Amino acid sequence: MELDVSSEFNRLIAAARSVSREVGETVSDILKRGLEQPLAREEACALLTRVVEVMREGAARRGDVQAATALSGDMDAFIKSVTDERERVGALHQPSSARPILELQPFNGIQPHPVRPSPVFHEREVAVREGFVRTKDIQLWDENERLDIHLNQFRRTHGRGPTGDELLDIMMGQLPLPGATKDQFEIRQLAQSIAVNGVRKPPIIDVDGTLLDGNRRVTACHLILNSEEFDAGEKRRAEWVQVWQLTEHATQADRESVIVSLNFEPDYKQDWPEYVKARKVHAEWQAMLALESRANSVRQRDLKRQVSKKFALGPDTHHVTRYIQMVELADEFEDYHVSERTRDRYEVKHKAERYFQYFDELGKGKGAGGVNYSLNQDEPFKHLVYDLLFEGKFSNWNKIRDLKYVANNEEALAFLREARDEHNVDRAQSLVDDGCSAARTARAIERSVAGNKRIEVFVDWLEGAPVRIFRPGAPDSIRPENLQRLYRALKLVESYLDPSGTNESVA
C-alpha cells in the first residue's frame, strides 16, 4: 500500500498548520524525511515533543484558543502513536532484501520449493515458494480491511495498535469491544473443519512471515492449539501450516495484487447443498449402525459424535441428529411420489433437494399435538402435505408449523385439498394460507372455550372448598403466596367487569 504519509502524520501536520504555515511545513518535512532517513526512536520522540511545544507556544502567543485546546491533550500518547506509525510505514517501504526473512521449513518429507507455474493475482504473475512454517511464527495481518472497525476502535481506546496476541483475541472475539459480536469471524466453525482436514488452502505470507491472506485460517489454528476441545491429533494438524511465501524480490505492487485478487475477486466456489451434505452424513451413520446393530442409546450418541467430528460439524450431535431425521423424511417423501404417484425418481429427488429445509420443520413435534405426530397419525393427511410440497404450494416453511392445527380441522383440510387440485400455484398458495389461518382461528376459539370451562371448574371448587383451607397453619391450608396470587388475579378480573354487572360493554 503506497502511503506518502499516514493518517497520524496528517493529523499532526494539520495541527501544525493551524499554528502557522511555516511550522506546518517544517513538521511535514520532518515527518516525510523520516520515511527516507529515519531517526532513532528516541531522537524522533524528542524532536516531535519539541515541535508540539513550539506549536503550543505559537498558539498561545496568537491567542488561538482552538489550536491551544487541540494541543493540550495527552501529547505523549499522541507522539508515541505517531512514531509507531512512522516505523510501521517505514518498514513497508523497505526493500524486501532489508527485511527479516521467515525461512520455510520441510515437513513430512516435503521440501520448500518454488510454485510452478507462478500463480497470477489480479493479472500479475507473482513468484512464490511453497513450504511449511509453525503457526506460532506467522504474524496476523493488522492491515486486513475486515478488521478496520475493530482496529480503529482499539486504537481510539488504547492510543496504539494491538499487539499480536491482542490481534488474535480480536479475531477470536475474546477482546471486549463494545458493539462487536462474539465469534463474528466464525473462527470456531472454521477450526472444527481444520481440526479434521487441516488447512486446505495455503495462506500467503510476506518474506518476514506477515500474512497477506489467511488471517481466519491461522487464527483457527491458534484456537485449536490452545483449546482443550481438540485432541492431540487435531492439534498436530494445526501446528504446522503449508504456506505460499513471496520471495525477497517481491515488490509492493506484487503485495497489492495478492491482496486485491484474494479479497475483491470472487472465486465462484459453491458450497454443497444441505441435501447432499445430509445424505453423506446419513450414509456414514447407516454404515456405523450396520457394524453395531445392537448399539444402545449411549453407544449411539458416541457414534453420532464420531460422525459429527468426521464431517467437521462440531463436538455435539445436534447437526447429525437433525440431518438423519431430515433424510429419513426425505426418503419417505421420495418413496411416496415414486411408488404411489409414479413420478420420475430423479424429478422427485430434485424436488426433495429444493425443499429440503422443509423436512426440518416436518420432523419437529413428535409428541401429541406436534407437526410430526399429526402427520404420523393420519396417512392421507401426510400424503396431502407431500403432494402440496412437491408442487411448491407452501408459500414458505412457516406454514408447516400450522399443520398441527390443520390436521383435525375439516374446514382447513378442505382448503388444502382444493389447493392440491388447483393448477395455478399462486392461487394454490393462497388457499393453503387461508386453510392455515382458518385452523389458527379455530384453535384460538377452542382455547377461549377451554378457558371458560376451566373457570367454571375452578369456581365450583372454590365455592365448595372448606373455609379452613384459607386459615394459616390449618391442615391442607393454602400457602400465603398462593393466596396473594389469587387475590391479585381476582382484582384483575374485577377491573374487567362492567359496573352494571352485565359485562356486555367490555371490549
Q: What is the pLDDT of residues 149-170, one digit of tens each?
A: 787 888 888 888 888 788 888 8
- pLDDT band at residue 88 under the 50/70/90 scheme: low
The answer to whether residues 239 and 188 belong to one domain is: yes
How high does pLDDT run on average in the chain?
A: 82
pLDDT at 265: 65
What is the total count of domains within the chain?
4
Residue 102 lies in a domain: no
Decide if pLDDT at 485 tops 50: yes
Domain boundary among 232, 264, 296: 264
Asked whether residue 421 is assigned to any structural domain, the reply reads yes
Please report the beta strands in 169-210, taking only residues with DSSP state E, as ranges in sequence order: 204-205
* 428 and 288 within one domain: yes
Is the pLDDT reported for residue 389 higher than 80? yes
- 260, 287: one domain: no
Q: How many CB atoms lie within 10 A of CB 377?
A: 12
Amino acid symbol at 365: G
CA–CA separation, 481 and 491 (whole Å): 15
Residue with cell 518454488: 114
Tell me, what DSSP letter sits at residue 161? Answer: P
Q: Are 131 and 73 in contact (CB under 8 A)?
A: no
Domain co-membership, 78 together with 36: yes
Q: Is 452 a member of any domain?
A: no
User: Are residues 243 and 123 part of one domain?
Assistant: yes
339: left (phi over 0), alpha (psi -120 to 50) or beta: alpha
Answer with the residue of higher pLDDT: 399 or 455.
399
Share of the chain above pLDDT 70, in %: 77
Q: Is residue 105 part of a domain?
A: no
Helix (H) or strand (E) holding 211: strand 211-213
In the predicted structure, residue 299 carries a pLDDT above the cut 90 = yes
End-to-end CA distance of the chain: 69
Per the CB < 8 A criterion, the answer to whether 319 and 282 are in contact is no
Among the candidates 212, 237, 264, a domain finishes at 264
Looking at the fold, whether 31 and 76 belong to one and the same domain comes out as: yes
Supply the pLDDT for residue 97: 52
Q: What is the pLDDT of residues 119-140, one digit of tens each?
A: 999 888 999 999 999 999 998 8
Beta strands 204-205 and 240-246, pairing class: parallel
Residue 1 forms part of a structural domain:
no
Task: Calculate the alpha carbon distances from 342 to 280, 337, 387, 443 in Å.
Answer: 26, 6, 12, 36
Which residue did the predictor score with more confidence, 134 or 16? Answer: 134
Q: Give the pLDDT score at 222.
A: 92
Please, which pLDDT band fits residue 453 given cuts at 50, 70 and 90?
confident
Q: In the prediction, which pLDDT does 4 show?
A: 37
Identify the pLDDT of residue 120. Answer: 93
Global pTM reads 0.55
Task: Assess whether 144 and 286 both reside in one domain.
Answer: no
Look at residue 201 and tell me if it is in a domain. Answer: yes
**413 & 353 share domain:** yes
Say if strands 211-213 and 240-246 run parallel, antiparallel, or are unpaired. unpaired
Do 180 and 219 meet the contact criterion of CB atoms below 8 Å apart?
Answer: no
Beta bridge partners of 132: 105, 242
Question: In the predicted model, is pLDDT for residue 490 greater than 90?
Answer: no
Average pLDDT over residues 36-63: 66
Q: How confident is the model at residue 14 (pLDDT cuts 50, 70, 90)?
A: low
Q: Which domain holds residue 251?
A: 113-264
What distance in Å separates the CA atoms of residue 435 and residue 304, rounded to the nearest whole number?
Answer: 39
Average pLDDT over residues 41-52: 66
Q: Within this chain, do residues 235 and 287 fall inside the same structural domain, yes or no?
A: no
Per-residue pLDDT band for 22 (boundaries 50, 70, 90) equals low
CA distance 42 to 418: 85
Phi, psi of 19 (to 5 degrees): -80, -55
User: Residue 451: inside a domain, yes or no?
Assistant: no
- Whether residue 156 is found in the same domain as residue 304: no
Instruction: Please check whether residue 157 lies inside any domain of the structure.
Output: yes
Same domain membership, residue 363 and residue 496? no
| Domain end call among 212, 244, 264 | 264
Quote the CA–CA distance of 25 and 21 in Å, as a whole number.
6
302-341 pLDDT, tens digit each: 999 999 888 878 778 999 999 999 999 999 999 999 999 9
Q: Are residues 194 and 300 in the same domain?
A: no
Residue 466: cis peptide before it, omega within 30 degrees of 0: no
* Mean local confidence (pLDDT), 390-418: 93
Tens of pLDDT, residue by residue over 223-235, are 999 898 899 999 9
